[in-house]
Amino acid sequence: MWVIKLGGSLLGSPELPQWLEMIAQHSDGKFIIVPGGGVFADAVRSAQTKTGIPDPVAHQMAVMAMDQYGILLTGLNPALVTASSELEIAERGWQHRALVWLPSRMVCADETIPTNWDVTSDSLAAWLASRLGAEHLLLVKSDRPEASEVSLERLVKDGLVDTHLGDYVVGQAFKTWVVHKQDSHVLQQGDSLQQLQQGAVAVRCAWN
């Protein structure tokens, strides 16, 4: 299983349909998309500013915003199907479908996940990769380091990932990668590690 996080910043970009088409064509039940929050999460931030609702409430709403973005992705590519539980993920995988995770059901049931804005869809994607025993986690970004490898610390300091990502990737069996939004070609051969290595930045999952 490869977990692929597609951020809300891709919404409206020409690259987003390319990623969805590539995933739909080559998934064979092995790729699962984690949606960002995008404009839907922005609406939650605005509502919190206006009303003063506490962070745990805003967190729940923001995770539900990810659900909305995920549903939007399936509207952009009908070959994609949603899954909101580990059982549904397994069933869609057996059916060789390309999956979009709707996270609110699973995330809101886990009381160990911090309920504030410090946890973004990057960390939740890593959380899911750990739960599923994934092989690779791909974080698709509008920007990426100009290197073949980067430390987790550098990513956090540069603001490319949230501060909690290390809680979910350090010590895990899966490999973490940062991929530029223009590099959907890394999936041209499906789950090819060689192709991935040619177009993605490997994350050194240590705090140094």
For the chain, domain boundaries = 2-204
Q: For 18-50, write each residue's pLDDT tens digit.
A: 999 999 999 999 999 999 999 999 999 999 999
Is pLDDT larger for residue 143 or for residue 53? 53
Mean pLDDT for 110-125 is: 96
Q: Please write the tens of the pLDDT for every residue from 157-169.
A: 999 999 999 999 9
Strand partners, 204: 151
Rounded to an integer, the average pLDDT of 118-127 is 97
Helices (H), 8-159: 15-26, 38-51, 55-76, 86-94, 104-107, 121-132, 152-157
Q: Which CATH superfamily is domain 2-204 in?
A: Acetylglutamate kinase-like (3.40.1160.10)
Contacts of 119 (CB under 8 A, 6+ apart): 59, 113, 162, 164
SS3 category, 1 = coil
pLDDT of the residue at 208: 52
Q: 86-94 vs 121-132: helix axis angle to the nearest 10?
A: 70
Confidence of residue 178 (pLDDT cuts 50, 70, 90): very high
Task: Please give the helix or strand (H or E) that residue 165 lies within, else none.
Answer: helix 165-169
